């Protein structure tokens, strides 16, 4: 039983060491394994199934807005990467370079894509000729490589999976609209499907994407009070179009540059799910993203009729949710612990006594609350309970997030909060990068975003320099 033992062994508690707790959960919930390539992870079935659900949900939402999927090469010639100045400066230090193909040295180095703006631009340059060819709304699902020095599973790895959308438009207004539309799509997805509240806002000049005119972001708060940038959407204006020469003949017969956007979400979201919802027993999955939503566990399964009834329940529930039966020869206790570690939203217990009374017991993973229900109502109750859990998990995450937003009115207060209170800090900003740099260097907090919806003015002056300030910023320590 060595294999089972590993699973239900106590993991490090969150309070004691959050980073170690996280590592324990990703390993013991069997989401990933380390590989022989430093900084690259193996995504195991339990982890990949979550990614498949994320893909299915996002892809459908993309397609509803007219987006089409394509696939671009994974290599970028060095000369192509260098075409947009800010972009190459941002990415060149962290790309992997292919120098040899087979036994010969390449004439030109190729980098493994860290992101594909340059490839899409090179493609669009020939594809787009007329206003009739616009807009182009393309997306791809692929892996990308960034040669990071410090890595952590899902949060920062040298290779990760993502989607990257790249659009081209006839007008600046349309590009801006699409940038915001995709950010809102991301935010709704996080809140509705991952039960994860996010703050929508704009990145400062310092924090925006290399080559972008504006970067919009959604920022989520993890259980330890650190922020996680969970999705970004960039408006490039006509910067890339000018660097790559992407022009079209408009209705007025004049040659114009296109306006572009890009937007992406990654396997990092799995890290977010872990850190927003997990507890000291392991993973807690929101029902809408859980690969298995309910696990039927027979009690005293050797007793006559128990296993048959468990199978029957499983089969009838399969019409309303993703349900599995654990009929292995492990003890119920082991099975409970395993199922908790893996974050399965509902456990369904059925034993000899339940048979007699035509009932079963539903146990919520998130609250551990038990509910006896008649077998006749089981399908209905499980459906209702999954919705309830989804809703409660969002409300709980939101309450936790809201309880960890602090206001700082001056530098002393900012310093005190940054040093003692985990969470987001709201503080006014004058707009100068000097203040942003000083706060980052001295207090190790960074500007997360200028929020869209939070327009409160908590003071008239910059939290750093005391000069007049009109912008509210969410500051925080971040992953």
95 belongs to the binding site for a second copy (CB under 8 A) = yes
Smallest gap from Cβ 209 to a second copy, in A, equals 19
Find out whether 158 and 39 touch, Cβ atoms under 8 Å.
yes
Q: Which residues of 377-410 are buried (b: 16+ CB within 10 A; e: fewer)?
A: ebbebbbebbeebbebbbebbeebbeebbbbbee
Quickly count: other Cβ atoms within 10 Å of residue 276's Cβ.
26
Find out whether 274 and 26 touch, Cβ atoms under 8 Å.
yes
420 belongs to the binding site for a second copy (CB under 8 A) = no
162 belongs to the binding site for a second copy (CB under 8 A) = no
First to last CA, the chain: 37
Closer residue to a second copy (CB): 138 or 236: 138
Question: What is the DSSP annotation of 415-448?
Answer: HHHHHH--SEEEEEE-S-HHHHHHHHHHH--EEE
Question: Residues with Cβ < 8 Å from 424, sequence gap 6 or more?
Answer: 199, 219, 221, 227, 401, 404, 405, 406, 448, 474, 475, 476
Closer residue to a second copy (CB): 94 or 407: 94
74 belongs to the binding site for a second copy (CB under 8 A) = yes
156 belongs to the binding site for a second copy (CB under 8 A) = no
292 belongs to the binding site for a second copy (CB under 8 A) = no
Site for a second copy in 7-36 (CB under 8 A): 33, 35-36
Smallest gap from Cβ 106 to a second copy, in A, equals 8
Choosing from 17, 19, 66, 70, the residue that interacts with a second copy (CB under 8 A) is 70
Choosing from 61, 86, 98, 156, the residue that interacts with a second copy (CB under 8 A) is 98
Find out whether 68 and 137 touch, Cβ atoms under 8 Å.
yes
Closer residue to a second copy (CB): 119 or 289: 119
Closer residue to a second copy (CB): 19 or 37: 37
97 belongs to the binding site for a second copy (CB under 8 A) = yes
Closer residue to a second copy (CB): 98 or 180: 98
127 belongs to the binding site for a second copy (CB under 8 A) = yes
Secondary structure (3-state) at 401: helix
52 belongs to the binding site for a second copy (CB under 8 A) = yes
Smallest gap from Cβ 75 to a second copy, in A, equals 5
Strands (E), 281-378: 294-298, 323-325, 346-350, 359-364, 370-374
Our measurement of the distance from residue 145's CA atom to the centroid of its chain's CA atoms, rounded to an integer in Å, reads 17
45 belongs to the binding site for a second copy (CB under 8 A) = yes
129 belongs to the binding site for a second copy (CB under 8 A) = yes
> Residue 29 class from Cβ within 10 Å (0-12 exposed, 13-18 middle, 19+ buried)?
buried
Choosing from 10, 60, 93, 319, the residue that interacts with a second copy (CB under 8 A) is 93
Closer residue to a second copy (CB): 101 or 419: 101
Find out whether 448 and 199 touch, Cβ atoms under 8 Å.
yes
Q: Which residues bind a second copy (CB under 8 A)?
A: 2-3, 33, 35-37, 40-45, 48-49, 51-52, 68-77, 80, 93-103, 110, 112, 119, 122-123, 126-127, 129-130, 132-133, 138, 142-143, 145, 147, 158-159, 161
């Amino acid at each position: 039983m060595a294999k089972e033992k590993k699973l239900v062994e106590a993991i490090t508690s969150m309070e004691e060491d959050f980073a170690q707790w996280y590592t324990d959960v990703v390993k013991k919930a069997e989401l990933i394994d380390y590989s022989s390539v430093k900084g690259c992870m193996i995504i195991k079935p339990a982890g990949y199934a979550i990614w498949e659900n994320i893909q299915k949900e996002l892809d459908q939402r993309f397609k509803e807005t007219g987006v089409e999927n394509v696939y671009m090469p994974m290599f970028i010639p060095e000369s192509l990467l260098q075409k947009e100045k800010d972009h190459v400066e941002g990415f060149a230090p962290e790309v992997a370079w292919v120098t040899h193909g087979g036994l010969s040295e390449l004439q030109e180095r190729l980098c493994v894509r860290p992101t594909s703006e340059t490839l899409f631009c090179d493609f669009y340059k020939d594809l787009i000729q007329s206003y009739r060819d616009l807009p182009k709304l393309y997306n791809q699902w692929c892996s990308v490589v960034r040669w990071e020095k410090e890595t952590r599973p899902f949060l920062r790895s040298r290779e990760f999976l993502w989607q990257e959308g790249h659009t081209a438009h006839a007008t600046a207004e349309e590009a801006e609209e699409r940038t915001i539309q995709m950010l809102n799509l991301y935010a709704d997805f996080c809140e509705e499907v991952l039960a994860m509240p996010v703050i929508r806002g704009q990145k400062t000049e310092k924090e925006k994407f290399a080559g972008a005119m504006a970067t919009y972001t959604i920022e989520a708060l993890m259980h330890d009070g650190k922020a996680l940038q969970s999705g970004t959407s960039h408006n490039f204006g006509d910067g890339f179009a000018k660097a790559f020469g992407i022009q079209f003949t408009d209705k007025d017969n004049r040659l114009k540059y296109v306006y572009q956007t890009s937007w992406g979400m990654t396997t990092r979201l799995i890290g977010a799910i872990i850190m927003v919802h997990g507890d000291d027993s392991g993973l807690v999955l929101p029902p809408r993203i859980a690969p298995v939503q309910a696990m039927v566990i027979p009690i005293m399964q050797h007793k006559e009729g128990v296993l048959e009834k468990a199978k029957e329940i499983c089969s009838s529930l399969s019409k309303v949710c993703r349900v599995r039966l654990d009929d292995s020869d492990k003890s119920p206790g082991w099975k409970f612990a395993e199922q908790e570690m893996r974050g399965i939203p509902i456990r369904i217990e059925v034993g000899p006594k339940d048979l007699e009374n035509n009932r079963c017991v539903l146990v919520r993973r998130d609250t551990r609350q038990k509910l006896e229900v008649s077998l006749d109502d089981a399908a209905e109750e499980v459906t209702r309970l999954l919705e309830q859990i989804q809703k409660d998990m969002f409300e709980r995450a939101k309450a936790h997030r809201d309880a960890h937003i602090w206001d700082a009115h001056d530098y002393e207060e900012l310093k005190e909060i940054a040093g003692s209170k985990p969470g987001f800090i709201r503080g006014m900003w004058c707009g100068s990068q000097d203040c942003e740099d000083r706060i980052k260097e001295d207090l190790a907090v960074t500007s997360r975003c200028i929020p869209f919806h939070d327009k409160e003015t908590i003071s008239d002056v910059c939290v750093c320099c005391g000069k007049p300030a009109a912008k509210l910023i969410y500051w925080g320590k971040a992953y």
